[in-house]
Structure 1
Amino acid sequence: MAWDLSCVDWQDRIRRGQSLMPDLPDLDVARGERAVRIFNRLRIPDIVGTPLLADACGEWFREIVMALHGSFDPVTRERMIRELFILVPKKNAKTTLGAATMLTSVLMNERPRGEFLIVAPTKEVAQLAFDQATGMIDLDRGLRKRFHIQDHKKTITYLTTGATLKIKAFSPDVMTGVKPSGILVDEEHVVAERADADRVMGQIRGGMVSQPEAFLAIITTQSERPPRGVFKGDLKKARAVRDGLVQGHTLPILYEFPPDIQKASTVPGQPAPWENPALWQMVLPNAGRSITVPRLEDDFREAKEKGLEELTRWASQHLNVEIGLALRNDRWAGADYWEAQADPDLTVSEIVARSDVIVAGIDGGGLDDLLSLTIMGRDSVTAEWLQWSKSWVMEGVLQLRKREASQLQDFVKQGDLVIVQEPGMDIEHLADTLGGVNKSGKLAMVGLDPMGVGAIVDALADRGIEGPRVVGVSQGWTLSGAIKTAERKLADGSLLHCGQPIMTWAVSNAKVEARGNAIIITKQAAGYLKIDPLMSLLNAVVLMSKNPQAKPTMAGFMRRGLLTA
């Protein structure tokens, strides 16, 4: 039976500066205290005076060491805490404390030839972890006699049991032939950007199955971009355990602001709640040791002077502020208002029911692009513009665009992106979607880039959508009016969308360029990042700006109060 690892009052605790460790009544305190004693005796090798961890580490991490090792049952040899998920900002000694934890685990281990790994996102971080671990051994005469260090193999062997601690950079061959007793993954948010991250993390977890005492420890900061892939999934799971929504074997220790502080400013020109340095102590468990708030304040001012993009990146790394939109200096102005205009209750059927007229925008290029559809309705009562989208992508794009593969897989799981195996299937799916909307009698027009759309036009005609209702929308500088219209309607609150992550991603990818008196958003400006869903929205905006009319319906008259039932 799993332990209850929830900490449902975490918001109150973090505000008061209290421990985030849940109550663990079944913990083997004696075993846990033994691990803490070993941990405390290790020294930090790259700080003047090489202080003991007993002095240089905060109590917050000693609690983690005790919980991890005290959750081991010596009779069943099963570890009740099989995973750690620690979310903590930079400069809180993650790599150093992680190396110390793994050394402690090797010394506590009873399995002959047990295998332990530290997996880092890059060779540089792997080297740092190795230097920290070997430095701790070199500073202790007793440990020097009991360990054999092989620099060329990045391997440390405990001579008493034959257990090894290996430090590796993240790659698919990490788990080749390994049956780990313990693994630490450093900076999972960086690892998650790899196309094969899901597979490798699956191998890591699968390799632990045969070892009942095995554990996986993940120590990471927030991502510099919206969370994605395996990092997003593990973060979601850890939050669910912490909040008591699910039971599991993951111990979540998440140093992040409560939602009311983490949110962005809702008043233009006003600072966000998290920008108040008086609140930073909440998410800095090692403050006063490896980091100080005054030093962070200096960095904060420098980041703010460089602009919103650098400030956003800085906040994600140093305060664990989760990024919703990757805002840049050359961002589209509408991005500043995008998140505030989300209505998660909007669906395509809801838009059809509420609207007196509907238009659609389509964008899609070659086989390595997303084929994107936007449905936009005009509310028959409030005249608000209501937006929903869906996209399709060829299966081969995930191999071609490996950098974005994990992000695209997330959109598939969320239901906003469909992967198709054969050319043409995406067009058929899109046409079927529009055919269903057309049956409402409210679809006035469909707009699309006039280049290379013959197959789409034919598919729409087969569903009864043809003639003057299918129009070409000129691209480039001629979209300047639609770009400005969309950003104004987002700013004044009259454009609502259903909060789909794929649209948030596309909006954050958009880069704006000035062309004479016009502004443009182009795929060339966005580079390898995709903006097709946003372009389909702009095509729909062009049509809705023409004030289209659909055939009046009895339902429409009733909603406006012109008829009674």
Structure 2
Amino acid sequence: MYATLACPDWVDRLKSGRSLIPDLPLDRSRADRAVAIFNKLRLPDVGGQPSMAEAAGDWFREIVAALFGGFMPDSDDRFIREIFTLVPKKNSKTTGGAGIMMTALIMNERPRAEFLLIGPTQAVSDTAFSQAVGMIQADPYLTKRFHIKEHVKEIRDRTNGAKLKIKTFDTKVLVGSKPVGVLIDEIHELGKIASAARVLRQIRGGILPFPEGFVVFITTQSDEPPVGVFRSELIKARMIRDGKAQSVMLPVLYEFPVSMMKDGSWKDPANWWMVTPNRDRSITIERLIEGHTEALLEGDAALKIWASQHLNIEIGLALQDDNWAGAEFWPLAANKRLTLQEVKRRSSVIVIGIDGGGLDDLLGIAVMGRCKFTGKNLLWSHAWAHEIVKKRRPEIASKLDDLSKLKQLTFVKLPGEDVYELAGIVFDIEASGLLAAENSIGVDSFGVAAIRKALTKEDGGIAKERIVGIPQGWKLNGAIKDAERDLAGGQLVHAGLELMDFAVGNAKVVPRGNAVAIDKQVSGSAKIDPLMAALHAQVLMGLNPVPAGVSGWDTDDLDALEEKIAAAVLEAEARHVA
């Protein structure tokens, strides 16, 4: 690779106010020319129509320089073909994006080249087009050079026939287009569109024939947990920035480091300047403080949305005022090393919870073991979904695809395939001798009959009396409260799966007299079945189960038993087990 685009010292740069773009071997003549053109563009909607030289910060000029100067020496081939910029609202993101595309159109030398600026909504597209048109109309030379077609949101260069088209995203956005350069505004909104990944692949494939081709993403953080193409592109950008991957994408991410997220220092207004690169121009810290104060008065939900949009705080669980109280402690109880095999290895006894299974539902399994080293409850989960759920619930289709790629959710084409795979996990645990002798498996009292039938097969099945119907609604109040306390007190440790983050974040609590219930109807199409399965397992673990088979600790050889216990203690200390 010609040059690495990693910026491993980005935290130090962020805290000291230095550029988040590493030192790069740019083509300075191209970079300087692009910056000079960009600087001459004028803000059309500000009194006096100041130039970008006055209105834009150096941080954005550095992006312009990297984009237009990121070429190989003495070549038209780029080593920077993409830029991913994550910046909070009110930092002139859309205006800067319009300026980038006008700069590209002015610098372009390819006859009849086509450029696209794509907004996620009609409103964003209208704003971008208005800014680009205003920049042209504020300059006599640009007014003569470019022809504006208002009705189709198109700007044509009279000198060579090149075009800049401003479009609203849809699956047909590329019909008849062969773009040389593309800017996508607010890609976080596209994460909710199932077809966005396919369109993005088409865009990337479309620019390949052009050595000068580029794609730019400029976006704020999502006000919901990142999903779909936004999540995948954000993860990739972070990996490149941190030096864990190499690519032709340059990441410029104005976000707080994990350490500041954990210690809460991101909440201090004295630190907000770090992620506000256009401060004292389009936004001030004082205005941010005012907005923060208003959000505090509106409640927790408004505060989280405000933080995601104005400070780029990623929402992991989309907490709302009516969310389950255990969600607050959920992230702290995660242990990513906790695989199914690890739960089996470390447990003295295991119970299983199952929930869901209709064509519109997820089928969730929760395997909960009691750790033989610490006595804590260890939770591993998985889910299955019929392919049809993506059509019936398109709003969560991209999220389910993400979970499938992580191998935390399995799609099936035929009813029964999910139950068959689930039963295989149950039988494997039964064969290990760890499954509880009584009250082994908890299912919804009105659960799918196919599940019970699969588990109680004549040849090697589970005895019917070991499968327990778990009452739902307010009758789960005890398990809900127990799980909250166990999470808060460190008694419950889970595998840190995005599947369960999704389910826990979706769960809505409904008061029922003196009790509470986690209601599927209130939670809507955002599925909570894996969490319900975990609560079923919580009920059974509360019955203090004993294993049906030999645990592996019984021995008549006392010396061997002492050695086994000593080895287990040493292993626990070495691994820092939960």
What band does the TM-score fall into relative to the shorter chain?
over 0.9
User: Aligned ranges for residues 97-246 of structure 1 at < 5 Å?
Assistant: 97-246=96-245
Q: Does the alignment pair 1:12 with 2:12?
A: yes
> C-alpha offsets along residues 497-543 of structure 1, whole Å, 9 cap, x if unaligned?
00000101100000001011110111101012110010000111111
1:563 match: 561
Task: Give SS of 1:79's match.
Answer: coil
> C-alpha offsets along residues 48-71 of structure 1, whole Å, 9 cap, x if unaligned?
221110000000111111111112
CA positional deviation for 1:245? 1.4
Aligned counterparts of 1:388 and 1:395: Cα–Cα separation in 2: 23
Residue type of the partner of 1:221? T
Cα contact 1:392–1:419 (8 A) shared by 2: yes
> C-alpha offsets along residues 168-190 of structure 1, whole Å, 9 cap, x if unaligned?
00001111121111000000001
Aligned counterparts of 2:12 and 2:529: Cα–Cα separation in 1: 42
Cα contact 1:179–1:210 (8 A) shared by 2: no
Cα contact 2:553–2:561 (8 A) shared by 1: no
Q: Does the alignment pair 1:532 with 2:529?
A: yes
Cα contact 2:361–2:527 (8 A) shared by 1: yes
Cα contact 2:355–2:443 (8 A) shared by 1: yes
CA positional deviation for 1:466? 2.0
CA positional deviation for 1:88? 0.4
CA positional deviation for 1:340? 0.2
Q: Does the alignment pair 1:21 with 2:18?
A: no
Cα contact 2:434–2:551 (8 A) shared by 1: no
Report the more deviating stretch, 309-318 or 125-134: 309-318
Counting aligned pairs with the same residue, the percent is 52
Residue type of the partner of 2:526? L
Aligned counterparts of 2:559 and 2:147: Cα–Cα separation in 1: 84
* Alignment coverage as a number of residue pairs: 556
Task: Give SS of 2:451's match.
Answer: helix
Runs (4+) off by over 4 Å: none
Assess, with a 3 A threshold, how the Cα gap between structure 1 residues 495 and 554 changes in structure 2: closer, same or farther. Answer: closer
2:502 match: 505
Cα contact 2:327–2:504 (8 A) shared by 1: yes
> C-alpha offsets along residues 384-442 of structure 1, whole Å, 9 cap, x if unaligned?
11000000000111111111011000100111100000010000000011111111111
Aligned counterparts of 2:447 and 2:328: Cα–Cα separation in 1: 33
User: Aligned ranges for residues 68-87 of structure 1 at < 5 Å?
Assistant: 68-72=67-71, 76-87=75-86
Residue type of the partner of 2:384? W
User: Aligned ranges for residues 398-547 of structure 1 at < 5 Å?
Assistant: 398-444=390-436, 445-462=440-457, 463-547=460-544
Report the more deviating stretch, 480-489 or 308-317: 308-317
> C-alpha offsets along residues 142-198 of structure 1, whole Å, 9 cap, x if unaligned?
000000000001000011111100000000111112111100000000111112111
Task: Give SS of 2:156's match.
Answer: strand
Task: Give SS of 1:78's match.
Answer: coil
Aligned counterparts of 2:39 and 2:98: Cα–Cα separation in 1: 13
Cα contact 2:2–2:72 (8 A) shared by 1: no
Task: Give SS of 1:443's match.
Answer: coil
Name stretches of at least 5 consecutive residues in structure 1 with no aligned partner: 266-271
CA positional deviation for 1:77? 2.2
1:384 match: 376
Cα contact 1:447–1:539 (8 A) shared by 2: yes
CA positional deviation for 1:450? 2.3
Aligned counterpart for 2:308 among listed residues 316, 322, 329? 316
Q: Does the alignment pair 1:37 with 2:36?
A: yes
Aligned counterpart for 2:319 among listed residues 317, 320, 327? 327
TM-score under structure 2 length normalisation: 0.94
CA positional deviation for 1:564? 2.6
Task: Give SS of 1:72's match.
Answer: coil
Aligned counterparts of 2:559 and 2:360: Cα–Cα separation in 1: 48
Aligned counterparts of 2:416 and 2:399: Cα–Cα separation in 1: 23
> C-alpha offsets along residues 4-44 of structure 1, whole Å, 9 cap, x if unaligned?
1111110100000001111112x110111111111000011
CA positional deviation for 1:100? 0.4
> C-alpha offsets along residues 70-121 of structure 1, whole Å, 9 cap, x if unaligned?
1235854222210000000000000000000000001111110110000000
Aligned counterparts of 1:73 and 1:453: Cα–Cα separation in 2: 61
CA positional deviation for 1:262? 2.3
Cα contact 1:361–1:446 (8 A) shared by 2: yes
Assess, with a 3 A threshold, how the Cα gap between structure 1 residues 454 and 134 changes in structure 2: closer, same or farther. Answer: same
Aligned counterparts of 2:53 and 2:153: Cα–Cα separation in 1: 27
Aligned counterparts of 2:534 and 2:455: Cα–Cα separation in 1: 18
Assess, with a 3 A threshold, how the Cα gap between structure 1 residues 74 and 260 changes in structure 2: closer, same or farther. Answer: closer
1:284 match: 276
Task: Give SS of 2:180's match.
Answer: strand
Residue type of the partner of 1:423? P
Cα contact 1:3–1:248 (8 A) shared by 2: no
Cα contact 2:363–2:529 (8 A) shared by 1: yes
Cα contact 2:378–2:492 (8 A) shared by 1: yes
Residue type of the partner of 2:9? D
Name stretches of at least 5 consecutive residues in structure 2 with no aligned partner: 564-578
Task: Give SS of 2:165's match.
Answer: strand
Residue type of the partner of 1:155? E
Aligned counterparts of 2:341 and 2:551: Cα–Cα separation in 1: 18
CA positional deviation for 1:296? 0.2
CA positional deviation for 1:324? 1.1
Aligned counterparts of 2:36 and 2:124: Cα–Cα separation in 1: 27
Aligned counterpart for 1:298 among listed residues 290, 307, 310? 290
Aligned counterparts of 1:481 and 1:71: Cα–Cα separation in 2: 60
Residue type of the partner of 1:11? V
Residue type of the partner of 1:98? G
Aligned counterparts of 1:225 and 1:43: Cα–Cα separation in 2: 34
CA positional deviation for 1:551? 3.8
1:268 match: none
> C-alpha offsets along residues 256-290 of structure 1, whole Å, 9 cap, x if unaligned?
11111123x6xxxxxx2211001111111100100
Aligned counterparts of 2:167 and 2:381: Cα–Cα separation in 1: 42
Aligned counterparts of 2:560 and 2:534: Cα–Cα separation in 1: 31
CA positional deviation for 1:239? 1.0
Aligned counterparts of 1:555 and 1:358: Cα–Cα separation in 2: 14
1:54 match: 53
> C-alpha offsets along residues 270-326 of structure 1, whole Å, 9 cap, x if unaligned?
xx2211001111111100100000110011111122222211111111011111111
Task: Give SS of 1:148's match.
Answer: strand
